Amino acid sequence: MLWFTSLAAYEQALLASAFMYTMTALGAACVFFSKKPNPAVMTVLAGLAAGIMIAASFFSLLLPALEYDSVLPNFVTVTCGFLLGGAFIIVSDFVFTRKKARFESLGGGRNALLFLAVTLHNIPEGMAVGVAFAVSSVGEGAALSALLLAVGIAVQNFPEGMCVAFPLRKEGLSRLKSFAFSQGSGAVEIPACVLGAVAASFIAGLLPWALAFSAGAMIAVVCSELVPECFAGNKTLASLGIVAGFCFMMLLDVALG
């Protein structure tokens, strides 16, 4: 841990994002060993992912954002940043929904849209982790909080990789192509994470905006993708997954952060 904290913020971000991508690839690799995932397991995993991201948005992003001074009052900066992050995801989803017919070559419009939506929301996720590592350079204990955020996102990346790979496989793509597209959706987190760390490190005034923006984007992703997905299955399992995921991330962040 001492070795990790001694690294520059962009180096920490690079290692963390590589781990996050690896979890996506591992989830996607399940397509080589199974025809379809267990629906109950996928419901619980999607719920866990939603709970983890909700807790991470609050404890690892919004709370640190409120601690930074800016030209505007803190609550105004955080509120505006949060709204911009949420609007980014909502507008992007709207645009991709209207353009989904262009991506039928990926194995069907719906699955092309799923691939693009996952790829899109991985960008603010990666930036969120990068910004968190930039914050870690100015506060003791913040490095652990940033690392926990990366671990939380990595945990939800595993079922996410499965959720992209298996539908593509169902539409007729080979296992190799399904895996390639799915792991590719997670690869964007690496440059996004490093960019977030570098930008936030050099522009101090950007930190509270970037943290709040990332939180808003993550909450929008949870509401538009994960919650509908898990509650389309078993409501009880979905609720248990969300509560368990939130508690897991909260305990890690509060107890160890």
* Residues 145-156 pLDDT 10s: 778 778 878 877
Which residue type occupies 219? I
126 Cβ contact list (under 8 Å, min separation 6): 17, 20, 188, 189, 190, 191, 192, 193, 196
- 100: its two tokens: 């989904």
Q: Specify the 3-state DSSP secondary structure of 36.
A: coil
Please state, as a whole number, how many other Cβ atoms lie within 10 Å of the Cβ of residue 131: 35
Rounded Cα distance between 151 and 252, Å, is 10
Is residue 25 scored above 90 in pLDDT? yes
Rounded Cα distance between 10 and 109, Å, is 37
Radius of gyration (C-alpha) of the chain in whole angstroms = 18
Which pLDDT score is estimated for 137? Answer: 62
- 234: its two tokens: 């078993």
Rounded Cα distance between 78 and 61, Å, is 10
pLDDT digits (tens, 9 = 90+) for 204-223: 677 788 888 888 988 988 88
Angle between helices 9-29 and 142-170 (to 10 degrees): 30
Q: Greatest CA span in the chain, whole angstroms?
A: 55
Average pLDDT, the chain: 80
More confident residue, 253 or 165: 165
Which pLDDT score is estimated for 21? Answer: 93
Domain segments of the chain as ranges? 68-226
Q: Quick one: 114 exposed, middle or buried, by C-beta within 10 A (0-12, 13-18, 19+)?
A: buried
Q: What percent of the chain has pLDDT over 70?
A: 86
Q: What percent of the chain has pLDDT over 90?
A: 14
Helices (H), the chain: 2-5, 9-29, 39-56, 63-66, 74-98, 109-135, 142-170, 175-187, 189-202, 207-221, 227-231, 235-256
Rounded Cα distance between 121 and 217, Å, is 8
Per-residue pLDDT band for 95 (boundaries 50, 70, 90) equals: confident
Is residue 34 scored above 70 in pLDDT? yes
Rounded Cα distance between 147 and 128, Å, is 11
Which pLDDT score is estimated for 99? Answer: 59
Which pLDDT score is estimated for 8? Answer: 82
